[in-house]
Each structure stands twice: as structure tokens, then as C-alpha cells.
């Protein structure tokens, strides 16, 4: 049997489908951005709350199409994205055939196994549907089905707002092909959704006037380098595809003069009017938005998934050029093709992102809800800000009898939003940073009782600079004397030092007393505070705060001073490892400052475990350490 594009393409698609199903089967958790959870929740409950079908933030086209499969849970929402991804790969193949590529079937592999595209397929984010609408519209165009192409591309802003640029992009392409009658159909989507949204928004221009993006988002997320996406291409495509992409783009640019001379050919019009501008234009637009901090857009590699099926066509041009050079030597041709394709398929699995495992922040919320479900507070109504809360509680996030969401607490006392006994599920990102509700303000609130705190197994910093954690509060009078940290350990390094530690005592600088500990490249660890977990004060779970006084004479060397909390099991295997770096604190070189670490410690987990707190210096110069202090506060006090 002779294999051709016509026979290979369905086989490759089928094998890829089985592989993707296998990856989902092996996945053990949920990861990605919390937007994925929110999009799923909107789609999942749209039949119960029909206005969600036209929810602007949720993206109406996505909600309408994803809602049937979302009724089967989050796995159903992922199945929808997998289906969209497979269809996008098939349209990439069909376009490659129209472009007369000899190895058109390879476009399926180049689409599905582009790292970021593959990762996003296992979420409920909108980028995959967007990419499908875009590449399907381009296929209809190259197939000279101009009316259908115009109608389909008119729907793309309702998959993602950035789609407006593609309606504009199709205008010159249609005009060049003298398809003037198709131009009015570019308004189809706006007309349909304007009419559909009238009962809800009472505004025919609701798509523009009810835009959910504002300068507030820009204030939160800030801005970044114009070159952010260019630098991230190694992550987005990885080396095999990136090398092929650069090769393919070079070939296309080299052939530009020939292509321009033959712009009566639909293939050249599609390539030079749509495919290349659509891909590069999207990256340029996202780069400008992030650089200028516009529309509340956070720089994220996930956005590029919108156009990655188009990149597969550019990558394929590079693959074609390489294969053309090798075709005279059949053995080398076969080995080279096999090597490239195998490497492309293999590379995404080296990122340790698939099969999906529970993300580090998702795991904390899962731990919180596992605790809450088995506690006496499981039936209490809760105020939340993070959509992961109702997701892991497996409750309707829009059922006001069980929970309700608040987006901002600016100038609001959170206790005023709660009835006695109701819960506040606080998180560092959405409540603390975006919602303007600092954790310390809750600890000073006389009407909120702290029930528990949850932290990740390895600490990480959120946007805004705080350490990620979750906390559960209940509206109830509290014991104010328990809501303070109490010191139980202090080492000022004035005495009780071993003979070895005395070698590194310095009288050159001191925060208190007459001496401190000098850390250098030869002496990297300070004396530690260490003992059995069960020797910690309090009972059960406590909030442990460690502080050390630091003096760093260097003006250039920052980020090398680390305060460490290590918790080991009885066999001295690390159970938890929490750090705080000096770079997370604003300080002046040559002046003493505090480096602080706060975390929740269960005195009984692991059983017979040990804790150790110390300062670790990884630099090449010198720093001074003084006054290592430990404090605790009981969690879950009455």
C-alpha cells in the first residue's frame, strides 16, 4: 500500500486522537490558570442561568459551544477543547494541501504537538476555539468559499475579543479577490449577537459598551517588555519547531518577490494576506498591549495558542525545504524526517506539564476544601474570590444560598458582607492583591475569627510580591489575645555558640549586642533554630514566623540571602521547604533590615518530624546575620 497525504492524514489524526485521550486518562489533577475554571463554570451552568450564554467575559461563542460537553464536568470541557484542537489540526492539513505542500499531513503533528498549544488543550480556556475559528475561516477563504469565510470569521470576536483584528484583516484579502459582495457578511456576528443581547443589555452595541476590560486590570498587572513574547518563543515552540519556523519564514520571505508577482493565485493571497499577517500581527498586538499595559492584559504565553495552528504552516514550509534538500538520498531523507517528527512529538513531554498534575496553587485550595468538607463548617455559606473554591467544593458557584463571590473589598469591611457564622475564603491573589484585602487587616478585624491557614508545599510569590496562601475566617467575635504572634526563640549570637560557629563571629557589624555572624562563600549557613515539631509551642496547627536581621554591604549582589524553613521526616527526608529571599524585601545596602518568613506548620505532620530555620548565603561577597527570632500564633483559636 502506497502512503499518500490522503491516506496518512486520517491515520495520523486518529493516532493523535488516541494519544491525547491517553494523556487525559493519565492526568491526575487540574492545572493552568484559574480563568480556565471560570470559563468552565460559566459554560457548565449556562443552561441553569441562560444569561451566561451572552456573558461578555465568558465569551458567548465559547459558552454556547462548550456548554453541552461541560455538563459532564471539567473533563467534558477539556474534551471540547481537545475536539477543537483536533479540528484545527485537520484544517491546518487541508490548508497545507491547498498550498501544495508535499508533506501536508505533517501539519497535523506540528499543530497538536506545539508545546503551548498542547498544554492549553487540556484546559477550558478559549484560545483553542479561537484558533479553530481562525484557521477554519482561512481554509474557507483558500477554498474560494468567500461568503462562508466572511460569516465564520465574523464570529471570532465572540470567542476572544482580539478577534476584531481578524475581521479587519479579511477586508483587504476579500477586496483583492474582488469579493465585494462578501464584505457585508463580516458584520454577521455583530448583528446576530447584538439582536440576541438586546433583551439582556438593552444596547445594540453592547459588545463595545460592556467591554469587561478596563484600566483597573492594567493597574494590577502593570506592563512588561515589548520583547516578552519573542523571548518566550523557545518555550512556546521549543527548539525543533522554532528552528523549522525560522527556516520556513526565511523561505517564505525569500519567495516574496515571486509570490507578489502572482497575487492572482489564491494560494499566494492566503499566505501573504492572511497566514503570515495573522500570525505575526497577533504577536505584535499582544506585545504592544503588554508593553503599554493596555486593556488589563497580562503577558502570558497561553495567548499565542490562538495562532499556533498558523505557525504550523510556516513550520511546515521549513520542513518542506529541508526535505527537498534531502530527497536525493532516500535513507537520509527517511532518517531525518523520522528524527524531526519524533523530536517534535517528544519535546512537549519534557516540560513536566502533561499528563496534567494538580497545580501547586490548585493543590492548596484542594487541601483547604478537603479540610472544610470534613469540618463542622462544611455547610456554612461562604464568601470567596477564587473560582477554585466552589470548583473543589463541587457546588454551584452562582448559588447564593451556598456561596457568593466578591471581586473587590476596597473601602469595604468584609465582615459587613457576612452574617454570623458565614465564612470568608481568603486567598493572597484574588482577595489580597486584586481585591485589596490584606491578610493583616483581617487579623485586626474584631468580627472575624481565623479558623485555618493553608500554604503550598513549596512557597511561591504571586503578582504583587506576596507569598501565596489561603485562609478561612468565620464571622464571629474573636479572642484578640490569641491573634498576635508570641516570641518563643531568639538567638542574638552573643553566646551559646559552638567552637566551630565562633570562628565566624564578627564584631565589625551588629544589630544588637556586640557581635553578629559573618556569612561568606566559605561559610554559607548561619547557626540554626532546630528541634522536634512537637516541641513547638501551641497545639495542633500554628502560624510560624521566622525573622532574621541582615546587613548586606553589597549594592549589586541581591537575591543571594535566603531565610529557610525546612521540615523533615524522622528519616531526615525533606517534607516541606519554605524560603524567603532578600530580593523580596526593599532595603538599602549597608543598613540592617528584616528578612521574614511566615508559614503554617502542623506540629503533628509529619509524625515525629523536625524543623530547622536558618539563613543561607549563596553569594560571593559577605553578609552579616543577627537576631534570628521565631514567633508563633495559634491557628483555629476560639
**Rounded to whole angstroms, how far apart are CA atoms 303 and 282?**
9
**CA-CA distance, 607 to 102, in Å (whole number)?**
63
φ/ψ of 356, rounded to 5, equals -65, 135
Q: Which helix (H) or strand (E) element contains residue 410?
A: none
Query: Tell me, what's the pLDDT at 215?
Result: 58
Helix (H, G, I), strand (E, B) or coil at 595: strand
Q: Which three cell numbers stand for residue 236?
A: 512556546
Q: Model confidence over 155-202: pLDDT tens digits?
A: 999 999 999 999 999 999 999 999 999 999 999 999 999 999 998 998
- State the pLDDT confidence band at 584, using cuts at 50, 70 and 90: confident
Give dist(CA 137, CA 306) in Å, integer: 13
Computed from CA positions of residues 234, 239, 245, 251, in that sequence, does the dihedral angle turn out positive or negative?
positive
Q: How many CB atoms lie within 10 A of CB 172?
A: 13
User: For the chain, first and last CA: distance in Å?
Assistant: 77
- Distance set, CA 279 to CA 299, 314, 339, 584, 612 (Å): 17, 9, 27, 37, 52
501-527 residue pLDDT tens: 898 999 999 999 999 999 999 999 999
pLDDT band of 138, cuts 50, 70, 90: very high
58: left (phi over 0), alpha (psi -120 to 50) or beta: alpha
Q: CATH topology for 360-478?
A: D-Maltodextrin-Binding Protein; domain 2 (3.40.190)
Question: What's the pLDDT tens digit per position in 212-243?
Answer: 876 555 566 778 889 999 999 999 999 999 99
Q: Is the pLDDT of residue 1 over 60?
A: no
Cβ within 8 Å of residue 199, ≥6 positions away? none
CATH of domain 486-634: 2.60.120.1310
pLDDT value, residue 615:
96
Look up residue 582 and give its DSSP letter.
G
381 sits in the region (left: phi over 0; alpha: psi -120 to 50; else beta) called beta
Give pLDDT, residue 3: 66
With a cut of 90, say whether residue 561 has pLDDT above it: yes
Spatial distance between the Cα atoms of 130 and 121, rounded to a whole number of angstroms: 12
Q: Is the pLDDT of residue 111 over 70?
A: yes
**What pLDDT is attached to residue 458?**
78
> According to the model, what pLDDT value does residue 328 have?
82
- 637, three cell numbers: 483559636
**Which residues are paired to 473 by β-bridges?**
424, 450
Q: Provide mean pLDDT across the span 529-545.
A: 90
Query: Crossing angle for the helix pair 308-326 and 330-346, nearest 10 degrees?
Result: 160
Q: Output the nine-digit C-alpha cell for 561.
A: 540571602
Which pLDDT score is estimated for 413? 92
Confidence of residue 389 (pLDDT cuts 50, 70, 90): very high
**Domain spans of the chain, in order of start:** 5-351, 360-478, 486-634
Mean pLDDT value of segment 65-87: 97
At a CB cut-off of 8 Å and minimum separation 6, what does 395 contact?
A: 402, 403
Cβ 427 vs Cβ 405: under 8 Å: no
The DSSP code for 296 is T
Nine-digit cell string for 517:
555572624
pLDDT computed for residue 421 by the predictor: 93
| Percentage above 70 pLDDT, the chain | 97
d(CA 455, CA 428): 10
Taking CA atoms, 362 is separated from 375, 414, 562, in Å, by 20, 24, 26
Asked if domains 360-478 and 486-634 share a fold, the reply is no
Give Cα 269 to chain centroid, integer Å: 36
Query: 18-74 pLDDT, tens per residue?
Result: 999 999 999 999 988 899 999 999 999 999 999 999 999 999 999 999 999 999 999
User: Is the pLDDT score of 538 beyond 80?
Assistant: yes
Average pLDDT of the chain is: 91
Taking the C-alpha atoms of residue 470 and residue 465, their distance in angstroms, rounded to an integer, is 15
Count of residues for the chain?
Answer: 638
Give the separation between CA 414 and CA 6, rounded to whole angstroms: 62
Q: How far apart are CA 94 and CA 92, in angstroms?
A: 5
Distances (CA, A) of 442 to 388, 432, 479: 21, 10, 13
- Where is 174: in which H helix or E strand? helix 164-176
Sequence-distant (6+) residues with CB within 8 A of 376 are none
Helix (H/G/I), strand (E/B), else coil: 191:
helix
For range 268-276, the mean pLDDT: 95
pLDDT at 126 over 60: yes
pLDDT digits (tens, 9 = 90+) for 314-365: 999 999 999 998 888 888 889 999 999 999 999 999 998 999 999 989 999 9
The DSSP element (H or E) to which 40 belongs, if any, is helix 34-44
By the 8 A CB rule, do 79 and 228 touch? no
Note the pLDDT of residue 326.
86
pLDDT of residue 179: 96
C-alpha to C-alpha distance for 479 and 481, rounded to whole angstroms: 5
- Band (pLDDT 50/70/90 cuts) for residue 638 is very low
Preceding peptide of 606 cis, ω within 30°: yes
pLDDT higher than 90, residue 272: yes
Provide the 10 A C-beta neighbour count for residue 527.
18
Amino acid at each position: 500500500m502506497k502512503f499518500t497525504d490522503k491516506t496518512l492524514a486520517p491515520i495520523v489524526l486518529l493516532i493523535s486522537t488516541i494519544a491525547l485521550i491517553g494523556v487525559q486518562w493519565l492526568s491526575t489533577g487540574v492545572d493552568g490558570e484559574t480563568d480556565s475554571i471560570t470559563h468552565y463554570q460559566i459554560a457548565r451552568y449556562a443552561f441553569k442561568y441562560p444569561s451566561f450564554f451572552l456573558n461578555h467575559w465568558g465569551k458567548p461563542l465559547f459558552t454556547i459551544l462548550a456548554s453541552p460537553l461541560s455538563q459532564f464536568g471539567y473533563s467534558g470541557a477539556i474534551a471540547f477543547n481537545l475536539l477543537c484542537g483536533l479540528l484545527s489540526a485537520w484544517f491546518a492539513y487541508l490548508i497545507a494541501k491547498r498550498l501544495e505542500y508535499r508533506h501536508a499531513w505533517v501539519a497535523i503533528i506540528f499543530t497538536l504537538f506545539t508545546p503551548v498549544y498542547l498544554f492549553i488543550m487540556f484546559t477550558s480556556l478559549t484560545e483553542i476555539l479561537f484558533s479553530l475559528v481562525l484557521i477554519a475561516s482561512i481554509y474557507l477563504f483558500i477554498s474560494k468559499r468567500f461568503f462562508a469565510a466572511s460569516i465564520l470569521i465574523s464570529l471570532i470576536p465572540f470567542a476572544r475579543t482580539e478577534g476584531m483584528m481578524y475581521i479587519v484583516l479579511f477586508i483587504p484579502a476579500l477586496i483583492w479577490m474582488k469579493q465585494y459582495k462578501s464584505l457585508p457578511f463580516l458584520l454577521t456576528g455583530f448583528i446576530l449577537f447584538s439582536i440576541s443581547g438586546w433583551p439582556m443589555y438593552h444596547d445594540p452595541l453592547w459588545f463595545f459598551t460592556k467591554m469587561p476590560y478596563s484600566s483597573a486590570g492594567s493597574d494590577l498587572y502593570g506592563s512588561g517588555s515589548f520583547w516578552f513574547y519573542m523571548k518566550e518563543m523557545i518555550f512556546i515552540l521549543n527548539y525543533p519547531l522554532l528552528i523549522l519556523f525560522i527556516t520556513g519564514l526565511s523561505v517564505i520571505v525569500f519567495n516574496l518577490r515571486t509570490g507578489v508577482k502572482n497575487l492572482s493565485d489564491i494560494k499566494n493571497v492566503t499566505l501573504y494576506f492572511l497566514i503570515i499577517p495573522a500570525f505575526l500581527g497577533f504577536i505584535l498586538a499582544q506585545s504592544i498591549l503588554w508593553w503599554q499595559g493596555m486593556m488589563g492584559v497580562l503577558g502570558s504565553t497561553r495567548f499565542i495558542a490562538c495562532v499556533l495552528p498558523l505557525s504550523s504552516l510556516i513550520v511546515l514550509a521549513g520542513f518542506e525545504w529541508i526535505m527537498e534538500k534531502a530527497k536525493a538520498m532516500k535513507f537520509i531523507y527517511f532518517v531525518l524526517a523520522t528524527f524531526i517528527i519524533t523530536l517534535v512529538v517528544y519535546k512537549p513531554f519534557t516540560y513536566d506539564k502533561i499528563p496534567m498534575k494538580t497545580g501547586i496553587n490548585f493543590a492548596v485550595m484542594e487541601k483547604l476544601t478537603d479540610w472544610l468538607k470534613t469540618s463542622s463548617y462544611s455547610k456554612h455559606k461562604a464568601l470567596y474570590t477564587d473560582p477554585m473554591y466552589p470548583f473543589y467544593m463541587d457546588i454551584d458557584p452562582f448559588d447564593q444560598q451556598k456561596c457568593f463571590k466578591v471581586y473587590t473589598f476596597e473601602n469595604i469591611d468584609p465582615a459587613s458582607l457576612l452574617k454570623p457564622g458565614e465564612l470568608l475564603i481568603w486567598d493572597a491573589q484574588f482577595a489580597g492583591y486584586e481585591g485589596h484585602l490584606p491578610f493583616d487587616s483581617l487579623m485586626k478585624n474584631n468580627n472575624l475569627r481565623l479558623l485555618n491557614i493553608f500554604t503550598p508545599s513549596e512557597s511561591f510569590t504571586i503578582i504583587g510580591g506576596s507569598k501565596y496562601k489561603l485562609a478561612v475566617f468565620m464571622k464571629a467575635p474573636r479572642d484578640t489575645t490569641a491573634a498576635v504572634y508570641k516570641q518563643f526563640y531568639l538567638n542574638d549570637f552573643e553566646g551559646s555558640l559552638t567552637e566551630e560557629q565562633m570562628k565566624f563571629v564578627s564584631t565589625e557589624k551588629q544589630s544588637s549586642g556586640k557581635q553578629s555572624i559573618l556569612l561568606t562563600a566559605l561559610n554559607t549557613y548561619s547557626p540554626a533554630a532546630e528541634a522536634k515539631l512537637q516541641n513547638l509551642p501551641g497545639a495542633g496547627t500554628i502560624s510560624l514566623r521566622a525573622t532574621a536581621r541582615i546587613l548586606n554591604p553589597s549594592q549589586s549582589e541581591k537575591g543571594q540571602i535566603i531565610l529557610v524553613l525546612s521540615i523533615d521526616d524522622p528519616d531526615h527526608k525533606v517534607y516541606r521547604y519554605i524560603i524567603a529571599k532578600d530580593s523580596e524585601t526593599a532595603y538599602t545596602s549597608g543598613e540592617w533590615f528584616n528578612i521574614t518568613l511566615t508559614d503554617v506548620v502542623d506540629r503533628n505532620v509529619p509524625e515525629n518530624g523536625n524543623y530547622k530555620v536558618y539563613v543561607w548565603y549563596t553569594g560571593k561577597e559577605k553578609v552579616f546575620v543577627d537576631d534570628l527570632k521565631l514567633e508563633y500564633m495559634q491557628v483555629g483559636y476560639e
